[in-house]
Amino acid sequence: MHSLQIRPPAVAGLFYPDDPDVLSGEITALLDEEAVPPAPTLRQPKALIAPHAGYIYSGPIAASAYRRLKPYAETIRRVVLFGPCHRVAVRGLAVPRARAFATPLGTISLDEAALATALELPQVIAHDAAHAEEHSLEVHLPFLQSVLEDFTLAPFAVGFATPDEVAEVMERLWGGPETLIVVSSDLSHYRGYLEAQRLDGRTAEEIKRLHLLTDHEQACGATPINGLIEVAQRRGLKPELLDLRNSGDTAGDKSRVVGYASFAFYAPEAGHA
């Protein structure tokens, strides 16, 4: 049985608009909205952490990360994307057999050479089902399509894995300024507003200090975050917190909220990734 050559969008119309014009307009509005003015930086982020809920909830927080890529739209040619598995249990990291991922904004070619290189590692498997309905990767794609000029994608659905196993994949595909690493994660889930603020504030401090997270209550993407933290420790990357809010701040009820943060990670010297 042959796998699909193009993975179609699974959550268009649910997490984000399925009409291309509406979607494009919504992302443009999110990228243009500036809740927290960014500190002036001329540095290209090597890695981002951004949330993956419906755009009405986490879109503004994700946009604060993707906005940082605008000056580097022509430099970044490959995005290596890591998100947690929500629907299918996987041991290790799963890559798809598809050749492209589609969204309402068009198709993105997968970097088949990068995925083949990753598949040489024992913790990486080809597993279409892990990607078929996974939203943690998909919701980032329209943002990337809107900000970058022309890029390929290497997507990893992260299941039961160690930070070392994730870090090894990141290191193998690290590349130079042409390669961007993106980690998809929300923070605490279904706490009261003030409790979430306290918990998420503590989690954000841990990430800023490059301390490994201790559990998935802090962040559903704790495993890929910890992989990035390990690489950041080794390579001297500096994290910057860009935005920290929750669904009670954006569009939700304050009694049960989900936390969101976005970070940019910078290489230690300008122009060196």
CB-CB contact of 142 with 105 (8 Å): yes
**Distance of alpha carbon 94 from the chain centroid:** 15
Q: What tokens were used for 248? A: 């009670």
CB 191 within 8 A of CB 149: no
Kind of pairing, strands 189-191 and 257-266? antiparallel
Given a cut of 90, whether residue 36 has pLDDT beyond it is no
Mean pLDDT of 226-235: 98
Cβ neighbourhood burial of 209 (10 Å; 0-12, 13-18, 19+): exposed
Q: What's the pLDDT score for residue 35?
A: 52
pLDDT in tens, 163-209: 999 999 999 999 999 999 999 999 999 999 999 999 999 999 999 99
Domains of the chain: 6-266 (3.40.830.10)
How high is the pLDDT of residue 273?
A: 44
Quickly tell me which residue has 């990486």 as its tokens. Answer: 124
CA separation for the pair 118, 271 (Å, rounded): 26
Which is it for strands 179-184 and 189-191: parallel, antiparallel or unpaired? unpaired
Q: Which of 114, 91, 27 is nearest to 65 (CA)?
A: 27
- The average pLDDT across 71-84 equals 97
Mean pLDDT, residues 80-101 taken together? 96
What sign has the CA pseudo-torsion 96, 72, 103, 86? Answer: positive
Element (H, E) at 31: helix 20-32
In this predicted structure, the answer to whether residue 2 has a pLDDT above a threshold of 50 is: no
pTM to 2 decimals? 0.94
Pairwise pLDDT comparison (39 vs 55), residue with the higher score: 55
Confidence class of residue 269 from pLDDT cuts 50, 70 and 90? confident
Could you tell me which residues are beta bridge partners of residue 102?
107
pLDDT in tens, 47-67: 999 999 999 999 999 999 999
* Chain segment 200-223, per-residue pLDDT in tens: 999 999 999 999 999 999 999 999
- The token duo for 229 is 């933290």
Neighbouring C-alpha atoms within 13 Å toward the C-beta of 178: 9
What pLDDT, on a 0 to 100 scale, did the predictor assign at position 271? 47
Q: What are phi and psi of 155, to 5 degrees?
A: -95, 135
What is the pLDDT at residue 252?
77
